[in-house]
Amino acid sequence: MTAIAEQKRVCVLGSTGSVGVSTLSVILQQSDRFQVFALTAHSNIDLLMEQCRVFHPKYLVVTNPDLYQALSVRVKVDCLGAVVMSGSESLNEIVSHEDVDIIVAGIVGAAGLDSIYHALCRGKRVLVANKEPLVMAGDFLVDVAKKNHATILPIDSEHNAIFQCLSQCVPPYLHDQGISKILLTASGGPFLNTPIDELKNVSVSQAIKHPKWEMGRKISIDSATMMNKGLEVIEAHYLFAAPVDTIEVVVHPQSIVHSMVQYVDGSTLAQLAYPDMRVPIGHALNYPHRVALNVKPLCLEDMSSLQFQAPDFKRFPCLLLAYESLTKGRAAVVGLNAINEVVVAGFLDNKIRFSDISILIESVMTDFNASNPNTIEEVFDVNAAAREFATEHLSKFKAAEVYGGV
């Protein structure tokens, strides 16, 4: 069999985001193993065109319908031959295509859920980078994967590390393997040591400047509040069928140990690497094989110390809110994710202060009531209701600030 015949065809959802760019960098290095079948982006058609020239996908999707015409013209002028599609429905169509082997799901926020669901229904291997779909509907997605012989592989660095530390792994669901604890590491973000009373004055540009990882704006804010870690606790709970009280967060500012698994017999396994998304992506793309990747190998002699400490819930109340939501049930978890998206967007738009993020999320969570969803459709309903509710609260919160009220 030739190398070409073994090539897997990959669809990259969100190819112009940080996960998409890292994925394409891996594929470029391993072009004998992978070929790009489709690329999708929301609005950055300049970068999408550049990627199209290098990877020659069969399909290009721009989810913003206003850009369909412009992209179609540019593809035609450059004689690239890719079929251009538009709108979020096109994503479902592309991931379900019979010629697609692997889907890399890197779409920010809740928007990625529908396409992941469709891919799993068609028995595909789905590499999940965006945590919101697993947070919103992790148990449903795991069930859908089981029923359709599909595979969910995590490329969120922590979950990929846990996956690598599990000895008898049968993805996507893991049963009792003698695990006593999952230790999720967290860098602590840019404000790990900032005095708490100074947090109200931090700007958007300070908050999006993560010390170790370069990421999108929303996830950078989530890292600064540690909501990101809270969402990862939820993600781990569903993905690895791990009880909440077995998942612990450990602050590790160097971001070298990406997570650990502790076993009942006294062993703790860890996965170490420099912070580079290409490592978890390369692992999941090639799983169960290990294939050479041109990334900097770890040099332990260069590291004077690796530090670990317990998280300070007073500094990071969002982390506590995430744990609490898991004890309340599915509606609270879906609500938390949706409310967080709205509130973080409010901070990015300079409508509220950084320290207001957790205050506002907590107050909206307290008042938000919904029945626990039992289907993916109901998840979308709860998500929409929570977003609407949070948007209303956000506008009132802003008014209170402006007029000096409450």
Element (H, E) at 40: strand 34-41
Judge contact between 180 and 265, C-beta under 8 A: no
| Closest to 297 in 3D by CA, of 277, 280, 272 | 272
| Residue 134-163 contact track with Mg ion, rule CB under 5 A, x = bound | ----------------------xxx-----
Q: In whole angstroms, what is the distance from residue 334 CA to residue 279 CA?
A: 30
How near is the Cβ of 129 to Mg ion at its closest, in Å? 9
Name the one residue in this structure whose structure tokens are 């809740």.
110
CB 299 to Mg ion: min, Å: 23
Count Cβ atoms within 10 A of the Cβ of residue 292 and give its class: 0-12 exposed, 13-18 middle, 19 or more buried.
exposed
Please report whether residue 235 would count as binding Mg ion according to CB under 5 A.
no
- Which residues are paired to 290 by β-bridges? none
Q: Is the Cβ of residue 114 or residue 156 nearer to Mg ion in the bound state?
A: 156
CB of 158 to Mg ion, least distance (A): 5
Half-sphere exposure of 295 (CA within 13 A, CB side): 19
Closer CB to Mg ion, residue 156 or residue 341?
156
Closest by Cα among 103, 16, 123 to 63: 16
Three-state SS for 23? helix
- Cβ atoms within 10 Å, residue 28: 13
Question: Which position's Cβ is nearest Mg ion?
Answer: 156
Residue 228 beta carbon to Mg ion: minimum distance, rounded to whole angstroms: 7
Q: In the bound complex, what is the minimum distance in angstroms from residue 396's beta carbon to Mg ion?
A: 33
For Mg ion, the closer CB: 158 or 356: 158
User: What is the closest distance, in whole angstroms, from the C-beta atom of residue 143 to Mg ion in the complex?
Assistant: 24
Residue 118 or 258: which CB sits closer to Mg ion?
258
Q: How is residue 231 written in tokens? A: 């969402």
For residues 82 and 108, which CB has a smaller minimum distance to Mg ion in the complex? 108
Say how many residues touch Mg ion, by CB under 5 A: 3
DSSP string covering 204-261: HHHHT--SS----HHHHHHHHHTHHHHHHHHHHHHHTT--GGGEEEEE-TT--EEEEE
CB nearer to Mg ion: pick between 134 and 361 = 134
Q: How far is the CB of 320 from Mg ion (least distance, A)?
A: 18
Q: Which is nearer to Mg ion, 236 or 338 (CB)?
A: 236
CA 126 – CA 85 distance, rounded (Å)? 21
By beta-carbon proximity to Mg ion, the closer residue of 38 and 155 is: 155
The residue among 295 and 376 lying less far from Mg ion, judged by its C-beta, is 295
How many CB atoms are closer than 10 A to CB 27?
22
* Residue 174: both structure tokens together: 């893991």
CB 281 within 8 A of CB 19: yes
Q: How far is the CB of 231 from Mg ion (least distance, A)?
A: 9
Q: Shortest Cβ distance from residue 336 to Mg ion (Å)?
A: 17
Nearest to 183 by CA among 232, 222, 225: 232
- Contact pattern for Mg ion over residues 158 through 187, marking x by CB under 5 A: x-----------------------------
Give 144 or 261: the residue with its C-beta nearer to Mg ion: 261
The values of phi and psi at residue 127, to 5°, are -95, 115
Q: Please state, in angstroms and rounded to a whole number, the distance separating the CA atoms of residues 263 and 21.
A: 35
Q: Least distance from C-beta 255 to Mg ion, angstroms?
A: 10
Binding site for Mg ion (CB under 5 A): 156-158
